[in-house]
Structure 1
């Protein structure tokens, strides 16, 4: 601890200057993009806000979920994100949404800066966040994933000292967009802190579901909307069809269930294989959990990052905004000096930059299965696979086969990340 403390900057405020300046400059550019002062090539990434989110907002204001729209595939608490622009009634819906997304970005960055100044922590995570969101481009401000990721980052940082708060935040995040439930992958299973965290998560989830059910019907309709999803054009499985189109495959690309998907021969087979791959990935996580013997202060964050990586990489749908989840989880890991997720985090930053080029810049080529688009997509997906394998290997070695500082018996008393 003394060594870690000696590495803290002599002037902490001065050390914050560079990352804050980079964050401010890049976010100014993102705002210029979403407000169309600067325009990137490719489709308008903001059209969903004014064309879809705003419509959902009107339906939600009427006291019902948009359960007749198959594009609504979100848990009930997502209604809060969709309705949030109402907090700024003096602005039009899209403008208010962009500013609130920027506010969520700023909150996440502030959490990483605050944690990075504490003993045993570092500002690397704040740098990862500043760079990662910028590398994704304006898509980051044109979806509500920044809001969800802010909740997830806060949950991971709260786990060590405030497990009840962490559990409640995980529950809330899960009912915003499902994936934050993966933060529980490395959570302790025994001891007082474990009971507090899991209990708060369960109670919080039930409370939010009950409130949403009482407020409006159709809050759980999203569960059935997912079952008929196909293979989205940016997913790992989509590479099969991008290549098959070069050899006469007669399927097509359609806007299907709210995303651009392949439709045609063998698509159901590839989609089923993707689901099996996801099941296999979670089987590995279960095996890891059963075999893990050494839990450290970084295990919760490292396990959460690994789980989210596996979920995204094997998904039938890899939308560009999913990269925000990975950047947020990676940023928390790299805030902790003892984390071993440096290489996977670096690969995620590269994958995020590649994502900007495949969407929106070269998305027309991706949809048409043209060479440059397919190459960019393949590079991004290979980087995701490499990051997943690296994260799995490092998590396994740090908790199962490698040296550790905390025994399994002590694990429940050190549930996770930054304090």
Structure 2
């Protein structure tokens, strides 16, 4: 992955566009953040205030350029995830498959994980789940810190077993989130500016809605593609309607997860892991945006599931790995085909999102079944005796 990063200028690796986000966009935001303000007037700033600390962190490493320091911190987060998965997998009743999965699948994204800060966010979510059995309080703290960087890590607390564990984790998550946000709000101006920018996003070409519009281009729809809000998005008639449907589907996803939570009756050690992956999958496939770095989140949560021998989502982890491989072909290898919506680009998007859609449905189905109560044992009728197994008849023959 580092070798590819050093050769990022090659056309097959994106012609320099993948790494440009760090020394172009992130470094520009770093300059604004050092003056005590969030980039309030930048339409590309769409992240919670905790993201500012991640972007400021490279400046704490002496003797390195901003780009070099950013990559070093991404490598450190990758190492933290690997060590946490390996140590958890070495315990009795656990499996090292999670660590192997992370080590083998992350490079499917080439050098992208080291030029975005999603590995750092994923590290908080992974740690939140892995420390849950020993310390629900620490689990809540890690989830809250991750949510202050990107909102989705709060979903890892969805599958906690009812009772004391849930109360402790959510209480500490709320306290940590409140205190941390207050500190950031006092330290930087415009801490909520990201909300307005996030609300203005349209339909990214790689989303499920984008898949529909990409295929519609071949059926005669005359929409266009334009770079806005930090992504290539569709423009034209019906785009607003597709974006609205995506928001409705996100609400439906929240509803079915809430229904599962209310109806679940049986928990195993893997249930919090499976629920976290299912929740993030559902919110990903219903989003207006599915950037390639989103696959890092799913890989991390899938790896956590595989540390438990009781997980019900093994087939889902295979689908996520396959979708990750296709995502790399989409971006950066053949991204031009995706932008112009030719048949190659449209087919790749349909394949990747089809894999994610199947994974989401399968994930929720298997989670639902794994938490339903076991069927009751058959009860004998009063006054009767249970049938006695027949004893095989002795075979006649000479006695030795």
Same structural fold, with TM-score higher than 0.5 when normalized by the shorter chain: yes
**Deviation, structure 1 residue 403:** 6.6
Q: Hey, what does 1:263 align to over in structure 2?
A: 235
Give 1:272's match in structure 2, choosing from 229, 234, 244: 244
Structure possessing the higher relative contact order (Cα contacts under 8 Å, 6 or more residues apart): 1
TM norm structure 2: 0.91
Q: Which residue of 2 aligns with 1:75?
A: 48
Q: Residue 64 in 1 paired to residue 59 in 2?
A: no
Q: 1:180 to 1:262 in 2, by over 3 A?
A: same
* TM-superposed deviation, 1:194: 2.6
> CA RMSD, aligned part only?
1.4
Task: Tell which deviates more after alignment, 240-249 or 66-75.
Answer: 240-249
Q: How does 1:94-243 map to 2 (within 5 A)?
A: 94-191=67-164, 193-243=165-215
Q: Which residue of 1 aligns with 2:6?
A: 35
Q: Which residue of 2 aligns with 1:385?
A: 357
Q: Is the 8 A contact 1:45 1:142 kept in 2?
A: yes
Q: Unaligned stretches of 5+ in structure 1?
A: 1-29, 405-419
Gaps in structure 2 of 5+ consecutive residues: 377-400
Residue-by-residue CA offset, 1:265-317 (whole Å, 9 max, x unaligned)? 00000000111111111111011011101111111111001000101111100
Q: Distance in 2 between matches of 1:403 and 1:184?
A: 28
How much does 1:206 deviate?
Answer: 0.3
Which structure: larger Rg? 2
CA distance in 1, matches of 2:232, 2:189: 28
The one-character-per-residue Cα deviations of 1:340-364 (angstroms, maximum 9, x if unpaired) are: 1100000000000000000000000
The worse-fitting range, judged by mean Cα deviation, of 354-363 and 37-46 is: 37-46
SS at match of 1:176: coil
TM-score, structure 1 normalization? 0.87
Count residues in correspondence: 374
Q: Is the 8 A contact 1:132 1:324 kept in 2?
A: no
Within the candidate set 49, 52, 65, 2:22 is matched to 49
State the distance in 1 between where 2:71 and 2:151 align: 22
Determine the C-alpha separation between the residues in 2 that align with 1:309 and 1:81.
24
Give the equivalent residue in structure 1 for 2:322.
350
